[in-house]
C-alpha cells in the first residue's frame, strides 16, 4: 500500500497541481483570490480553465460538472462532456465561461414558494476558494467544480451561498475588533471547522431484508436485542478486521482527494464508528465532509457493507451525530480562542469568547433550528446527544476566571496582569486536568467550540453559517461599545467583557444537561426549548432573526421564508414516507408472519388434542398471538386513518406540527405492538433481519 503522503491530493486540483499547471503570474493572482479574499481576476479565467481541463483529461476525465448544495440537502450535479463541434469534428474543449458559470434546470429543486415551477432557470457559479476534484466511477472520470447555486433573479437556492456570506460577515467584524485592539499584523481572518463524522456499518445482505432501512434509512420496527450497548465494550474497543479493512480503504480514498482523515475508532453503539479529519479552513472542511459522505457509501459498497448516516437507525442504542468544531483566527496563525502569555492576546481571547456568548444568548434558538430535521429529532435530547436547549460549557477553571472578571470593580494594570496569568494556564488545564461535559451542546474544548447537536447526515454548512453569524453579531456588539469609549483599550475591553458576562450568564451551565433539574432551570432562565423540527424552524421567522440575516446580507426575509418552507416540506415528506412504509411493512409482512405463527400454533394444539393431549400452554400462546395480531391490525388502521387526516391539512406549518405530534405518536404505537410481536414470533417466520444480527460486531 502506498504512503499516505504519496497519494494525498492526487485527485484534487490543489495548490500543488495549480503551481505545476499554471504560469507564475496566473497562479499568484488565483492565490490572491483563494488566500486573501480578493475578487477573481477575470483575465486569468481562460488560463485556469485550460489548465484544469488538461489536468483532468490527463487523469482520464471525460466530463465536468458544477457541484452544488441544494436546500433539500446533500449535493447535486449535472455532467457535461468535454466536447464541442469544429467543422463536423468533435474536439475536447472547456472554456472559462463553462468554468465560471453553468445553467442547470432548477425547476425540480424545492424553492419554498420563492418562484413558480415554470421559472426554471438557475445558475451555478464556480467557488474558486474550494479546489476542483475528480470523481471516478467504474468506466468514467468527472471533473467536479464546487459552486454556488442561485436563481436567475439572484435569490439563494443553495446552502453554500449563505455560508460564504456569513464567513464574510464574521471576518469583517472580527477584523474591525483587531484594528481597534491595535493588531496590525492581522490582515485576514480565518474560520476553521473540523466535523467528526459518526456512522453505522451493516451487512449488505442483511440490509436487503429491511425495506425500512432501504427506503427510510432507519429501522421503523425492531425489538431491543439481548445484547445492545449495555456492556459498554464497543467504545474505543479493538477494531474488527472487516471494519478495519473498510477503514483502510476509506482513508486511502479520502487521502487521494486531499481530505486529511486523522482519527478512526469504534463508537459507543455496536457497529458504530467515527472518522474525523484534521482541522481545516471552514469552506474547504465543509466541502470535504460532503465528499466524505459520498465516498464512505462507495467504499462500504465495495466491501459488501452499507453505511448508515441517518441519525437514529436503531432504537434503543445510541444514534449518530457530527460534532462541529469551530474556531477563528488570522493570517499570523493566531487562534482567538486560545490564550497565551501575551496580555493583549488574552484580551482578544476574552473578547472572542464573550462575543460568542452574546450571540448564543441572543440567537441560541437559531443553533437548534440549524440542525432541525426529522432524523435528528429522534436523537437530540436522549442520553446520547445534547438536549435541544442551547447552553455553553466552559469548565470550572475558566468559569472561576470569568467570575473574577465579573466581580472586579476597577481594572488596574495589576488586575489585568493577574487575569492574564490565569488565562495562560487555561490550555494546560483544559488539556490535562479539566473534565469534559459530554452532555453540553456547546462546549469550549481547548481552543475551539464544539457544537455537538449536528446530525450525522446533515450538511455542516447550516450550523457553521449560524456559528459565524452569532460570532459576527457578538463582535459587532462589542465593537459598537468599545468605539465609544476613551482611555486604555485593554481596560475598556475588560469592562465590556464584564458587562456581557453579566448579561449572558443564563446560557452558561456546567452541570448535567440531561437532568430534569436543568430542564426546569432552563425554563426559568427563559431559554428556548424547541423539541421538534416545526417548533425549531419558527426561530428563522422571528423579527430579530430576520433583522440579523438582513443586516449582514445573509438572506432576505423572502429567502428565509423560502428556506423555512423547504425545510418544513421536507420534514412532512419524510414523516409521510415513514408512516406509509410503516403501514406497508406491518400490513404486508408483519401481520402475515404473526398470522402464520398463530396458524402453526393452532394446528399443533389441534393435533395434540386429537391425540388426547390437552395443552393449556399452547392454548394460552395461541390466545396471546391472536391478541398481538389484533393489536397490530388495529394500530395499522389507526395510523391509516391518521395519515388521511394529516394529509388533508392545508397549512404547511400546521401540517408539520400535526405530523410531529399525532403522526409520530401513532407510528410509535404501531411500532410498540410490532416489536412485542417480534419477541413471540418464530425467527424463521419473521420477515426481516432482527437487531441482534444487524448490530452484531462485524
- What does the pLDDT look like over 492-521, one tens digit per residue? 999 999 999 999 999 999 999 999 999 999
- Give the residue among 571, 640, 689, 683 at the shortest CA–CA distance from 212: 689
**Four-residue CA torsion sign, 632, 636, 642, 647:** positive
pLDDT for 618 equals 85
Residue pair 286/319 in contact by the 8 Å Cβ criterion: no
Query: Is the confidence at residue 210, as pLDDT, over 70?
Result: yes
Q: Report if pTM > 0.85.
A: yes
Question: Is 88 buried (19+), middle (13-18) or exposed (0-12) by CB count in 10 A?
Answer: exposed
* pLDDT tens sequence across 248-305: 999 999 999 999 999 999 998 899 999 999 989 999 999 999 999 999 999 999 999 9
Q: How far apart are CA 566 and CA 83, in angstroms?
A: 36
Query: Is the confidence at residue 230, as pLDDT, over 90?
Result: no
Which bin fits 526, alpha (ψ -120 to 50), beta or left (φ > 0)? Answer: left
Query: Is the confidence at residue 196, as pLDDT, over 50?
Result: yes
**Percentage of the residues of the chain whose pLDDT score is greater than 70:** 93
* pLDDT tens sequence across 536-595: 999 999 999 999 999 999 999 999 999 999 999 999 999 999 999 999 999 999 999 999
Give 445-484 as a DSSP string: -SSSEEE---BTTS-THHHHHHHHHHHHHHHHHHHHHHTT
For 210-227, what is the mean pLDDT?
93
Those residues with Cβ within 8 angstroms of residue 397's Cβ, 6 or more apart along the chain or in another chain: 425, 426, 429, 430, 433, 434
Query: Is the confidence at residue 2, as pLDDT, over 90?
Result: no
For 12-22, what is the mean pLDDT?
94
pLDDT for 120 equals 55
Partners of 144 in the β-ladder? 65, 133
pLDDT for 215 equals 97
Query: Is the confidence at residue 207, as pLDDT, over 70?
Result: yes
pLDDT for 311 equals 96
pLDDT band per the 50, 70, 90 thresholds, residue 1 = low
Query: Is the confidence at residue 394, as pLDDT, over 70?
Result: yes
For 302-326, what is the mean pLDDT?
95
pLDDT, the chain, mean:
91
pLDDT for 229 equals 74
Q: How many CA atoms lie within 13 A of 626 on its CB side?
A: 9
For residue 18 the three cell numbers come to 495549480
Query: Is the confidence at residue 105, as pLDDT, over 70?
Result: no
* pLDDT tens sequence across 617-645: 888 888 999 999 999 999 999 999 999 99
For residue 690 the three cell numbers come to 432482527
pLDDT for 90 equals 60
The structural domains of the chain, ordered by start, are 4-158 (3.10.20.70), 165-555 (3.30.590.10), 570-694 (1.20.120.1560)
More confident residue, 150 or 498: 498
Query: Is the confidence at residue 449, as pLDDT, over 90?
Result: yes
Scored b (16 or more CB within 10 A) or e, 58-73 reads eeebbbbbbbbbbbbb
pLDDT band per the 50, 70, 90 thresholds, residue 109 = low
Query: Is the confidence at residue 88, as pLDDT, over 90?
Result: no
Q: How far apart are CA 284 and CA 479, in angstroms?
A: 29
For residue 56 the three cell numbers come to 483532468
pLDDT band per the 50, 70, 90 thresholds, residue 5 = confident
Residue pair 372/564 in contact by the 8 Å Cβ criterion: no
Amino acid at each position: 500500500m502506498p504512503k499516505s503522503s504519496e497519494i494525498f491530493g492526487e485527485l484534487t486540483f490543489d495548490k500543488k497541481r495549480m503551481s505545476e499547471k499554471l504560469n507564475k503570474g496566473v497562479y499568484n493572482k488565483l492565490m490572491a483570490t483563494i488566500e486573501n479574499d480578493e475578487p477573481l481576476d477575470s483575465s486569468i479565467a481562460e488560463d485556469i480553465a485550460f489548465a484544469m481541463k488538461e489536468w483532468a483529461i490527463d487523469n482520464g476525465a471525460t466530463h465536468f460538472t458544477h457541484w452544488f448544495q441544494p436546500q433539500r440537502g446533500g449535493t447535486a450535479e449535472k455532467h457535461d462532456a468535454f466536447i464541442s463541434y469544429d467543422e463536423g469534428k468533435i474536439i475536447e474543449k472547456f472554456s472559462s465561461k463553462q468554468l465560471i458559470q453553468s445553467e442547470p434546470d432548477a425547476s425540480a429543486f424545492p424553492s419554498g414558494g420563492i418562484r413558480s415551477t415554470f421559472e426554471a432557470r438557475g445558475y451555478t457559479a464556480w467557488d474558486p476558494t474550494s479546489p476542483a476534484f475528480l470523481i471516478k466511477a467504474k468506466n468514467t472520470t468527472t471533473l467536479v467544480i464546487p459552486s454556488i447555486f442561485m436563481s436567475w433573479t439572484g435569490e439563494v437556492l443553495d446552502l453554500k451561498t449563505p455560508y460564504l456570506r456569513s464567513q464574510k460577515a464574521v471576518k469583517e467584524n472580527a477584523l474591525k475588533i483587531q484594528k481597534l485592539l491595535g493588531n496590525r499584523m492581522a490582515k485576514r481572518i480565518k474560520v476553521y471547522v473540523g466535523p467528526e463524522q459518526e456512522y453505522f456499518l451493516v451487512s449488505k445482505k442483511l440490509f436487503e431484508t429491511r425495506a425500512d432501512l432501504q427506503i427510510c434509512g432507519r429501522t421503523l420496527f425492531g425489538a431491543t436485542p439481548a445484547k445492545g450497548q449495555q456492556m459498554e465494550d464497543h467504545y474505543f474497543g479493538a477494531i474488527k478486521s472487516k471494519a478495519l479493512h473498510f477503514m483502510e480503504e476509506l482513508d486511502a480514498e479520502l487521502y487521494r482527494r486531499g481530505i486529511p482523515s486523522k482519527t478512526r475508532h469504534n463508537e459507543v453503539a455496536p457497529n458504530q464508528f467515527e472518522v474525523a479529519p484534521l482541522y481545516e479552513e471552514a469552506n474547504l472542511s465543509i466541502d470535504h465532509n460532503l465528499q466524505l459522505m459520498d465516498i464512505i457509501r462507495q467504499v462500504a459498497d465495495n466491501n459488501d457493507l452499507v453505511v448508515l448516516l441517518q441519525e437514529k437507525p436503531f432504537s434503543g442504542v445510541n444514534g449518530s451525530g457530527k460534532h462541529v468544531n469551530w474556531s477563528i483566527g488570522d493570517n499570523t496563525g493566531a487562534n482567538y480562542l486560545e490564550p497565551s502569555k501575551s496580555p493583549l492576546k488574552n484580551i482578544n481571547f476574552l473578547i472572542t469568547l464573550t462575543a460568542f456568548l452574546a450571540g448564543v444568548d441572543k440567537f441560541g434558538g437559531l443553533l437548534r433550528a440549524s440542525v432541525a430535521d426529522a432524523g435528528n429529532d429522534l436523537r437530540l435530547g436522549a442520553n446520547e446527544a445534547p438536549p435541544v436547549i442551547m447552553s455553553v460549557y466552559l469548565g470550572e477553571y475558566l468559569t472561576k476566571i470569568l467570575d473574577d472578571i465579573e466581580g472586579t470593580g476597577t481594572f488596574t494594570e495589576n488586575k489585568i496582569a493577574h487575569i492574564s496569568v490565569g488565562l495562560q494556564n487555561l490550555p494546560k488545564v483544559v488539556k490535562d486536568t479539566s473534565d469534559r461535559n459530554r452532555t453540553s451542546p456547546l462546549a469550549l474544548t481547548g481552543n475551539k467550540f464544539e457544537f455537538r447537536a449536528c446530525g450525522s447526515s446533515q450538511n455542516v454548512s447550516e450550523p457553521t453559517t449560524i456559528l459565524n453569524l452569532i460570532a459576527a453579531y457578538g463582535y459587532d456588539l462589542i465593537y459598537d461599545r468599545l468605539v465609544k469609549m476613551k482611555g486604555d483599550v485593554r481596560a475598556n475591553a475588560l469592562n465590556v467583557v464584564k458587562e456581557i458576562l453579566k448579561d449572558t450568564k443564563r446560557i452558561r451551565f456546567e452541570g448535567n444537561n440531561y437532568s430534569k433539574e436543568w430542564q426546569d432551570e432552563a425554563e426559568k432562565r427563559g431559554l428556548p426549548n424547541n423539541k421538534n423540527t416545526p417548533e425549531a424552524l419558527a426561530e428563522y421567522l422571528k423579527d430579530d432573526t430576520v433583522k440579523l440575516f438582513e443586516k449582514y446580507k445573509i438572506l432576505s426575509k423572502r429567502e428565509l421564508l423560502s428556506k423555512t418552507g423547504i425545510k418544513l416540506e421536507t420534514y412532512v415528506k419524510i414523516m409521510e414516507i415513514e408512516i406509509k412504509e410503516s403501514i406497508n411493512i406491518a400490513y404486508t409482512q408483519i401481520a402475515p408472519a404473526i398470522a402464520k405463527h398463530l396458524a402453526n400454533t393452532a394446528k399443533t394444539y389441534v393435533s395434540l388434542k386429537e391425540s388426547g393431549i390437552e395443552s393449556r400452554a399452547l392454548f394460552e400462546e395461541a390466545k396471546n398471538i391472536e391478541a398481538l395480531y389484533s393489536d397490530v391490525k388495529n394500530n395499522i388502521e389507526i395510523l391509516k386513518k391518521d395519515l388521511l387526516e394529516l394529509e388533508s391539512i392545508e397549512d404547511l406549518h400546521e401540517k408539520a406540527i400535526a405530523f410531529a405530534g399525532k403522526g409520530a405518536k401513532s407510528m410509535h404505537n404501531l411500532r410498540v405492538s410490532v416489536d412485542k410481536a417480534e419477541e413471540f414470533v418464530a425467527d424463521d417466520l419473521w420477515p426481516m433481519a432482527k437487531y441482534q444480527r444487524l448490530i452484531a460486531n462485524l
